[in-house]
C-alpha cells in the first residue's frame, strides 16, 4: 500500500525517488532515453533521400509507405503485446533496430550502395521501432507504478522524453557533421544494442502480473 498524496512538489519528487519506486522510475527514464537516442528521428530525416535512392521520387508515396509500415506494425504490436510480453517485444524491437541501423551505416559507408539494402533497412528499422520501442515505454509507465505515484511518474517521463527529443534534434546536425552518416547510424546501432542489454538485465516481464506482483519483483530484487 502507498503513502498518500503528499504536500507539494518536493514531497511528490521524494515519492519518485523513494526506496520502493526509485528503480522503476530509473528504468522508465532509461527507456525514454533509448527511445529518443536510438535514431528514430534521424531515420525519418533520412527517409526521403533513402526512398529517392530506391527509386521512390514522390515524397507523398514515401510518406504513405512509412506511415503504412508504422500503422501495420503498431497493430501487430497490440496483438502480440499480451501474448509475447512487453520484455520479449522490446528485445525483438531493439535487436531489429540495432541490425537495421548497422545496415544503414554499411549502406552509407559503401558509397550509398546497394539501394535495396537502404530500402530494406529503412522499412525494417521503422517496423522494429513500431513493434516495441515506440509504444512499450509508455505502456510500462502505467504498469510499473502504484496509483499514488503513477500520474507523477508519467508526467516526469513525458517531460524527460520531450527533453531528450529536443536534445537529439539540437545535436543531430553536429553529430552527423562530426561522424558522417555512416558513423551516426553505427552510433545509433550501438545505442540500440546497449538498450537491448539493459532491458535483458533490468526489466522483468510485467505481462499478466498484478501491480502487487510487479512491486514485489522490484522489492525482492532490491533486497
d(CA 71, CA 82): 18
CB 30 within 8 A of CB 160: no
- pLDDT by residue for the chain (223 residues), tens only, comes to 344 444 455 666 676 766 677 888 889 999 999 999 998 888 887 888 777 777 777 777 877 888 888 889 888 888 888 788 889 999 999 999 999 999 999 998 988 888 888 889 999 999 999 999 999 999 888 888 877 888 888 888 899 999 999 999 889 889 989 999 899 999 999 999 999 999 999 998 888 888 888 877 777 343 3
Which pLDDT belongs to residue 91? 96
Which pLDDT belongs to residue 32? 95
Which pLDDT belongs to residue 164? 94
d(CA 31, CA 49): 29
Which pLDDT belongs to residue 13? 66
d(CA 198, CA 190): 12
Q: Which residue has the cell 516481464?
A: 205
Query: Within a 10 A sphere around the Cβ of 220, how many other Cβ atoms?
Result: 9
How far CA 8 is from CA of 11, 73, 141, 149, 172, in Å, comes to 6, 41, 22, 13, 37
Nearest CA among 169, 193, 200 for reference residue 101: 193
d(CA 92, CA 84): 10
Preceding amide of 25 cis, omega within 30: no
CB 39 within 8 A of CB 185: yes
Which pLDDT belongs to residue 113? 83
Amino acid at each position: 500500500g502507498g503513502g498518500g498524496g503528499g504536500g507539494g512538489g518536493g514531497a511528490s519528487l521524494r515519492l519518485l525517488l523513494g526506496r520502493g519506486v526509485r528503480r522503476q522510475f530509473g528504468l522508465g527514464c532509461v527507456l525514454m532515453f533509448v527511445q529518443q537516442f536510438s535514431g528514430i528521428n534521424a531515420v525519418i530525416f533520412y527517409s526521403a533521400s533513402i526512398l529517392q535512392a530506391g527509386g521512390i521520387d514522390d515524397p507523398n508515396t514515401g510518406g504513405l509507405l512509412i506511415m503504412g509500415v508504422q500503422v501495420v506494425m503498431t497493430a501487430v504490436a497490440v496483438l502480440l503485446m499480451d501474448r509475447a510480453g512487453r520484455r520479449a517485444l522490446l528485445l525483438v524491437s531493439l535487436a531489429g533496430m540495432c541490425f537495421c541501423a548497422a545496415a544503414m551505416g554499411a549502406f552509407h559507408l559503401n558509397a550509398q550502395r546497394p539501394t535495396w539494402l537502404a530500402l530494406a533497412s529503412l522499412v525494417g528499422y521503422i517496423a522494429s521501432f513500431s513493434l516495441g520501442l515506440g509504444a512499450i515505454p509508455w505502456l510500462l509507465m502505467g504498469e510499473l507504478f502504484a496509483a499514488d505515484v503513477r500520474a507523477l511518474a508519467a508526467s516526469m517521463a513525458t517531460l524527460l522524453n520531450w527533453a531528450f527529443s529536443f536534445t537529439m534534434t539540437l545535436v543531430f546536425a553536429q553529430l552527423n557533421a562530426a561522424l558522417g552518416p555512416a558513423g551516426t547510424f553505427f552510433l545509433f546501432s550501438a545505442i540500440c544494442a546497449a538498450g537491448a542489454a539493459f532491458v535483458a538485465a533490468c526489466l522483468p516481464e510485467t505481462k499478466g502480473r498484478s501491480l502487487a506482483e510487479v512491486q514485489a519483483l522490484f522489492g525482492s530484487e532490491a533486497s
